[in-house]
Amino acid sequence: MTPTLLSQLAPLSGASPAIPRVDSALRLSLRPVPNRLTVVDGAWWPFSNDATAELPGLIAAVDRLLDRVTLRIGLHSDVWQNIPRRIPARGRRVRVGWFRHADPRVITLSFGTGEPVVLLIVPSGTAADAAEATLKLTTQDIAGMSIDAILTLARLPAGPPPRAAADSSARWEDEGGSVIGQATQPSMGRPTTSP
């Protein structure tokens, strides 16, 4: 399937065809109909690791592309800087949860209805050719592939796998409570923790 390239101003209707989309201005690829057999629903190549600067554009684009309202975002706390508790969005404030037990290579967006969307994060410093290849690859049939396999196929380093923290002080979540004893995310299959 060939991805459709969209500009920032391209309007989408609820009757849009269910083909993968690549928004090159935002550097986002997204499957409008999630496939529960894939580990990710698309990829996002942010310009930096500053959550306050990057997340508003992602929220707006995902809301527009999927015609849904993002209510919460889950991300790995070691990957991002300047992580706010809430992000202002059109008519609401989106809650941001940051975790250390999730896969640091993904970000999860949750909605009022429907399944969450999991996006593979292409590191901001990635060369343009490799990043664009990754964006396009995640719109293809990747059912059954692990994140490591997707990154290898796109010729990107697999990056750090999910890890367990060494001490309990590093295992506290943003909204209180220790996660000692929780297992790390498997490298295969969809993340099981929803923000």
Q: What is the pLDDT of residues 28-55, one digit of tens each?
A: 998 877 777 788 999 999 999 999 999 9
Report which of residues 12 and 48 the model is more confident about: 48
Average pLDDT of span 102-127: 92
What pLDDT was estimated at residue 75?
Answer: 95
| Structure token pair of residue 4 | 């459709």
| Structure token pair of residue 60 | 């707006």
Question: 119 and 44 in contact (C-beta within 8 Å)?
Answer: yes
Percent of the chain clearing pLDDT 90 (strictly above): 38
Handedness of CA 34, 24, 87, 96 (dihedral sign): positive
What pLDDT was estimated at residue 185?
Answer: 43
Q: How far apart are CA 11 and CA 42, in angstroms?
A: 20
For residue 13, is pLDDT > 60? no
> Would you say how long the chain is, in residues?
195
pTM of the model as a whole? 0.70
What pLDDT was estimated at residue 159?
Answer: 62
Average pLDDT of span 16-22: 42
Phi-psi region of 135 (alpha: psi -120 to 50; beta: other; left: phi over 0): alpha
What pLDDT was estimated at residue 38?
Answer: 84
Out of 1-15, 23-37, 125-139, 175-189, least confident range: 1-15
Residue 170: C-alpha distances to residues 65, 76, 107, 110 (Å)? 36, 13, 20, 25
What pLDDT was estimated at residue 139?
Answer: 86
Tally: H helices and E strands in the chain? 3, 9
Report which of residues 142 and 3 the model is more confident about: 142
Q: How far apart are CA 1 and CA 88, in angstroms?
A: 35
For residue 177, is pLDDT > 80? no
For residue 131, is pLDDT > 60? yes
Average pLDDT of span 10-25: 41
For residue 5, is pLDDT > 90? no
**E strand or H helix that includes residue 153:** helix 147-153
